Amino acid sequence: MYSATEKALIASIWEKVAPHTEEWGGEALERLFAVFPQTKIYFKHMNTSPGSASIRVHGGKVMKAIGSAAGDVDNMVKALSSLSDLHAYNLMVDPVNFKLLSHCILVVLAVHLPSEFTSEAHLAFDKFLASVAAILSHKYR
């Protein structure tokens, strides 16, 4: 599914993301809520104002889950299984939102890693996030 080059690019990008999971995850959620305000419906329990502590904390959780998948690209289904269950059976989040958030994460990475986020890295990470979104959506069927 992933070439050795793609795996190396994903690992390299994630290595740079890992120290900033809460900050960059929060930024990705802020972008999601600003560009796609309908996604706020799933966060009624949370302060969705830009810069809120709630957004940063949840963004950190999202990014750490993505990090667990990045750390085991060959076995992402297992790494994301409990998260997939939670979203499909308990939270019932519209699966389209996983794709929307993926795009927001790509923008944040491009902003923070301008020299490292080459077109090749962008393509590999986009493919990776598409896989994450597909895995999280799988149990909806």
Angle between helix axes 53-70 and 96-112 (nearest 10 degrees) is: 90
Distance CA 14, CA 68 (A): 10
> Does residue 141 have a pLDDT over 80?
no
CATH topology of domain 4-140: Globin-like (1.10.490)
Q: Per-residue pLDDT tens for 56-105?
A: 999 999 999 999 899 999 988 888 777 776 665 566 777 788 899 999 99
User: What percentage of residues in the chain have a pLDDT greater than 70?
Assistant: 93
Give the residue extent of every domain in the chain: 4-140
Confidence check: pLDDT of 135 > 90: no
Q: Show the tokens assigned to 73.
A: 């690209």
Closest CA to 20 of 131, 95, 108: 108
Q: What is the pLDDT of residues 16-57, one digit of tens each?
A: 999 999 999 999 999 999 999 999 988 888 899 999 999 999
